[in-house]
Structure 1
Amino acid sequence: MVAPPAEAPAAAVLPAPPPPAATVPAGPTATEAAAAQWYLKDPKLDGVPGIGDTRAYAELLKNRVPTAVIVAVIDGGIDTAHVDLKPILWTNAKEIPGNGLDDDKNGYIDDVHGWNFLGGADGRSVGDESLEVTRIVAKYRPRFRGKARTAVPAAQRAEFDLYTKAEKAFTARTKQETDRAAQVEDMSGPLKMMVGALKKDLNVERLDTATLHRAQATNENLRNLSRALDQNLRQMGLADTDALEKELVSGAREERNLLDNSLNLKFNPRAEIVKDNPDDVNQRFYGNNDLHGPDPLHGTHVSGIIAAVRDNNLGVQGVAGPLVRIMTVRAVPNGDERDKDVANGIRYAVDNGAKIINMSFGKEFSPQRPAVEAAFKYAAAHDVLLVHAAGNENDNLDVSNHYPAALTLAGQPFPNLLTVGASSAKDDASLPAEFSNYGKKQVDVFAPGVAIYSTLPGNTYGMESGTSMASPVTAGVAAVLKSYFPTLTAVQLKDIIRRSAQVHHTLVRVPGTDKKADFTTLSITGGVVDLYEAIKLAETVAK
């Protein structure tokens, strides 16, 4: 699963609670939200490496008539009652809600707004899941542990090689997370004490960035602490030190959850809840219609980026609108998604009319890769664009394996797939997000993915960072193009987004290293998605 650097923890595996009632959120005003949504600004007018969304609507789209477009979001769930999302949900008009029947005969009962491939017939849904590396080790360790490759029958050596690689990765990851959990847990207490001391010294109850920036503490240690906290809050897009403390607690809980569940060889909630055969990639009709799931934070945030209502004078503005609709496909747990669910999610979206599919997830191993690749090709055959998050491991994808991969098993690019890295709000050394994966051969383009303000469950709003956010920014751009220029094909959408990207020759820090490089060397295009320029190009292509 592609998670932002500071991801909220998932709930336990329990029946999903009913979604909250839709009420007007006590959120930001339209003016406040506009200021927070830096990524909608224009690089030329505003001097910010955003996508030119606001300018595009004001100048290029005001006299054009949009058409309906369905964007599928394959993710962890969505708060369908959110006031900024409820009006833009895709609705299956052929399905009668709540009658327990498959009215449209598509194999999925009551799939009114989408489908949940992580659900069971009893209404429960998988929340926490193991990592793919854990599942591989659990499956093959009893057969191969302690054996030499020469002692394994030739017909099993491919599986043995997969196990050997996974065993090594599993051991390293377990140690890494054990050390990290201890480190994060050890930081919570000292941070609380230091923040308390600084509040007392400054005689304030709240330490936000403005207070920290102008703070004049009484000694050098506290002044240094004030500067460090100010910098951390700004980098993480947090409002104050209380939010920072919550993030640390959340991070400690997530690390512990990784060890207890994701890296637990005996943890297998799917067997009890979904009760399918995970190894049968041809099995398609399983799950339920619970789109909320145990933790819809990630999918709610992603969906709002793409298409939150633009004209209701509250909350946030989605990149796309007004006739773009979100189809929810729940296939990504808190852990690693399964190849089978990804393939089925894509096929479900394609069969039910989606023309763009956002995929903000990823993992290190893909044992059923052919099934996913076949689904990619199925989408291509039906003229559907796939938009995928590059990942948050600050890796070079040209030398490190991450899935779903941008290339076929034969090493060829998919004509209908865009892989997206994350960029920041400053055109300086920090332009590529420090966590973002990159690659001159396998990452098509970058898009804003740092401190992205969008919808959160319970009619709330907040900032998240990750390539998980950059991908829906790009999917939103594709949706705008498809809505206003409906004749454009998936291949043309990909080409236009790549050719119109704002190229930056900025000297930047290569993610995960101390090295400097020209930003253009980090992706195929060397640019950041630009809706304004994409529309201008689409006007010539669609004629």
Structure 2
Amino acid sequence: MPLPFSRLALLGLLSFASLAARAQSPLTPEQIRRWQHLDLQADGVPGISADRAYRELLAGRTATPVLVAVIDSGIDSTHQDLKPIFWRNLREVAGNGLDDDHNGYADDVRGWSFLGGADGRNIAVETLEQTRIYARYRAQFEGKTRKQVPAAERANFDLYERAKASYEKDKQAEQARYARMTDAQTQNAAVFDRLKQALGTAALDSATLRTAAATRPELSAEAGAVYAYLRRAGLGSADEAAKSLTEAVDRSRKRLDMSLNPDYNPRALVGDHVDDLTETRYGNPDTQGPDASHGTHCAGIIGGLRGNGRGADGVAGAVRIMGVRSTPSGDERDKDVANSIRYAVDNGAQIISMSFGKDFSPEKTVVDAAMRYAAQKGVLLVHAAGNSGDNTDQTPHFPNTQYLSGEEIANLLTVGASSRQNTPELAASFSNYGRKTVDVFAPGVAIYSSTPGNTYSTFSGTSMAAPVVAGEAAVLKAYFPQLTAVQLKQIIMQSAVPYHTQVQQPGSKKLVDFATLSRTGGIVNLYEAVKLAQQMTAAK
């Protein structure tokens, strides 16, 4: 599934006092909204030093635009920060219904969707992979023990048992989450309404709340806490916070009704033969789809127009974005992921950003084959580690860092999420981690970027961290085009800045050295990466 984490908008679930205490920052609101570009020494923020790299190392140098494919839920290609950089297939004539370039995909002017039907309909929500496995085998295995199953079927029985346990656990957790969020909605609405009435205003923006906290003693606790929360989350008003929570509640409801419903199957509208893993020619050219928030946000992180005074800056300046749609809300299918990688590679992508993942990968063989194909073509894959707070050395998430053979995937970078606080909160509480299976960390908490309809929003997740790294790779490739995919990975990992901050291990309260959470022990740094790329290319 796409991997957004909530915008931290569950205000009713957190104590106002703790929010106020944790939100203190010397940064301006503008700096907070672009914190991932800042520098630890210059700004006191563990960003990637992008501004410093452009200012001190890249000024006056020539860059060659790099094509980055974003395999995701869909992208709004008309967004003001993305339209000028969105890839166009010049070999294809828009809207004529023909496959002009004979690549198997008619009218793929802006990319392709493997989640759509020929009639223009699109999948918005899919089941989870564990739901699909449970639904597939329950009639065959429900109520049986392993000894009662023929030996030839025991591998499938074991898969069913694991998937069933995961499905039931996820359903129970989602039901509890939905209940908490709906309760939070009620609590938040009451607080917001109370403050609006007391202040005689229809809108609670940051300035109003800050003033109330300082001048109205009877309102200072609630107004101060709401202001502190908004500042921390990068939100401008209580209405934005309420909207974010409403969206989260809606996602949770859909997850229960669809993603965790074994009787729900939207695949018929695509019209493919879902079990035919060799099938490639299906889908439609609608690369935006019914909900492009996640993909548009990721695309903006990579390459949103820099310095135009609107919204947010992407990491890469010389970049083109290709949209490939294969990851709905719910879990992506292995077949679609494999076809998306191959489509991106065949159409010239040099870097592929993949902010999705799941707990089961029953057709991993086809994904492995596509990744090997990308490696043969010199394409770098950048993947989000996942948002479960798991040690992926022990609990695999897919796609993972190894082929089924056990061989490492040399052209794949796996990315965890870090925050702008060089404190015990430096490692995002939700981020997966692993000394063997997560390569680097990158900014992924409260990242401000583009969303559909020329809007901007703040999201958190390893989904946000991966495109930061894809953007860094694009900068390196743009200025040093001779670098291979393996060299890009090497440079990004070797230039990551190690942190030895004592942090809360994701998923627990245990304090650990941040450096133990990944292979490099560090956070990516564009300034250091450019210096290393200069050294590497000068030596040849």
TM-score (norm 1): 0.91
- Native 8 Å contact 1:33 1:316 kept in 2: no
- Taking the aligned partners of 1:313 and 1:507, their CA distance within structure 2 comes to 37
State the partner residue of 1:444: 439
State the partner residue of 1:49: 46
Aligned residue among 188, 192, 199 for 2:185 = 188
- Taking the aligned partners of 1:127 and 1:366, their CA distance within structure 2 comes to 20
Matching of residues 101-112 of structure 1 within 5 Å: 101-112=98-109
Distance 1:228 1:510, change over 3 A: farther
Shift of 1:475: 0.1
Q: Which amino acid aligns with 2:151?
A: A
State the partner residue of 1:26: none
Using the TM superposition, name which of 67-76 and 225-234 deviates more: 225-234
Aligned residue among 286, 295, 312 for 1:316 = 312
- Native 8 Å contact 1:2 1:363 kept in 2: no
1:305 paired with 2:301, answer yes
- Taking the aligned partners of 1:7 and 1:496, their CA distance within structure 2 comes to 31
Shift of 1:204: 5.0
Distance 1:316 1:244, change over 3 A: closer
Aligned residue among 124, 131, 141 for 2:138 = 141
Number of residue pairs matched?
A: 518
State the partner residue of 2:455: 460
- Taking the aligned partners of 2:100 and 2:513, their CA distance within structure 1 comes to 55
- Taking the aligned partners of 2:202 and 2:361, their CA distance within structure 1 comes to 49
Aligned residue among 345, 350, 363 for 2:345 = 350
Distance 1:175 1:234, change over 3 A: same
Matching of residues 142-157 of structure 1 within 5 Å: 142-157=139-154
- Native 8 Å contact 1:2 1:391 kept in 2: no
State the partner residue of 1:479: 474
- Taking the aligned partners of 2:337 and 2:108, their CA distance within structure 1 comes to 17
- Native 8 Å contact 2:2 2:327 kept in 1: no
- Taking the aligned partners of 1:354 and 1:485, their CA distance within structure 2 comes to 16
State the partner residue of 1:6: 6
State the partner residue of 1:71: 68
1:377 paired with 2:354, answer no
- Taking the aligned partners of 2:115 and 2:518, their CA distance within structure 1 comes to 34
State the partner residue of 2:429: 434
Using the TM superposition, name which of 229-238 and 48-57 deviates more: 229-238
State the partner residue of 2:226: 229
1:270 paired with 2:267, answer yes
Q: Which amino acid aligns with 1:310?
A: R
Using the TM superposition, name which of 398-407 and 416-425 deviates more: 398-407
Q: Identity percentage over the alignment?
A: 55
Task: Note the alpha carbon deviations across 1:327-365, whole angstroms, 9 max, x for none.
Answer: 110001111110110011001111111110000001111
- Native 8 Å contact 2:196 2:202 kept in 1: yes
Distance 1:410 1:209, change over 3 A: farther
- Taking the aligned partners of 1:147 and 1:226, their CA distance within structure 2 comes to 58
Aligned residue among 502, 505, 513 for 1:507 = 502
- Native 8 Å contact 1:201 1:218 kept in 2: no
Shift of 1:148: 1.2
- Taking the aligned partners of 1:231 and 1:5, their CA distance within structure 2 comes to 20
Shift of 1:190: 2.6
1:424 paired with 2:419, answer yes
Stretches of structure 1 that go unaligned for 5 or more consecutive residues are 9-30
Q: Which amino acid aligns with 1:256?
A: R
Shift of 1:197: 2.2
- Taking the aligned partners of 2:194 and 2:306, their CA distance within structure 1 comes to 43
Aligned residue among 271, 289, 292 for 2:285 = 289
- Taking the aligned partners of 2:231 and 2:447, their CA distance within structure 1 comes to 13
State the partner residue of 2:12: none
Aligned residue among 325, 328, 331 for 1:333 = 328
Aligned residue among 126, 132, 146 for 1:129 = 126
Q: Which amino acid aligns with 2:55?
A: A
Shift of 1:254: 1.5
Find the residue that maps to 2:70 and give its secondary structure: strand
- Taking the aligned partners of 1:53 and 1:297, their CA distance within structure 2 comes to 25
- Taking the aligned partners of 2:167 and 2:229, their CA distance within structure 1 comes to 31
Shift of 1:379: 0.8
Q: Which amino acid aligns with 1:194?
A: V
Shift of 1:203: 5.1
- Native 8 Å contact 1:2 1:389 kept in 2: no
- Native 8 Å contact 1:202 1:216 kept in 2: no
Task: Note the alpha carbon deviations across 1:394-419, whole angstroms, 9 max, x for none.
Answer: 11111112111122223332110100
Find the residue that maps to 1:161 and give its secondary structure: helix
Aligned residue among 79, 91, 96 for 2:93 = 96
Find the residue that maps to 2:133 and give its secondary structure: helix
State the partner residue of 1:173: 170
- Taking the aligned partners of 1:308 and 1:103, their CA distance within structure 2 comes to 30
Q: Which amino acid aligns with 2:265?
A: N
- Native 8 Å contact 1:418 1:444 kept in 2: yes
Find the residue that maps to 2:321 and give its secondary structure: strand
- Taking the aligned partners of 1:218 and 1:84, their CA distance within structure 2 comes to 40
Q: Which amino acid aligns with 1:150?
A: K
State the partner residue of 2:11: none
State the partner residue of 1:61: 58
Using the TM superposition, name which of 504-513 and 469-478 deviates more: 504-513
Task: Note the alpha carbon deviations across 1:449-483, whole angstroms, 9 max, x for none.
Answer: 11111111111112111111110000000001011
- Taking the aligned partners of 2:197 and 2:90, their CA distance within structure 1 comes to 59
- Native 8 Å contact 2:2 2:330 kept in 1: no
Task: Note the alpha carbon deviations across 1:190-248, whole angstroms, 9 max, x for none.
Answer: 3211222234445554444555456158788x654445434433443322222222222
Shift of 1:67: 1.3
- Native 8 Å contact 1:2 1:467 kept in 2: no
Using the TM superposition, name which of 335-344 and 208-217 deviates more: 208-217
Find the residue that maps to 2:47 and give its secondary structure: coil
- Native 8 Å contact 1:329 1:349 kept in 2: yes
Shift of 1:179: 2.2
Shift of 1:34: 6.2
CA RMSD of aligned residues (A): 2.0
State the partner residue of 2:246: 249
- Native 8 Å contact 1:406 1:419 kept in 2: yes
- Taking the aligned partners of 2:424 and 2:228, their CA distance within structure 1 comes to 16
Task: Note the alpha carbon deviations across 1:64-85, whole angstroms, 9 max, x for none.
Answer: 2111311100001111111211
Task: Note the alpha carbon deviations across 1:91-127, whole angstroms, 9 max, x for none.
Answer: 1121122221111111111111211000111111111
Using the TM superposition, name which of 333-342 and 41-50 deviates more: 41-50
Find the residue that maps to 2:158 and give its secondary structure: helix
1:408 paired with 2:408, answer no
- Native 8 Å contact 2:498 2:515 kept in 1: yes
Stretches of structure 2 that go unaligned for 5 or more consecutive residues are 9-27
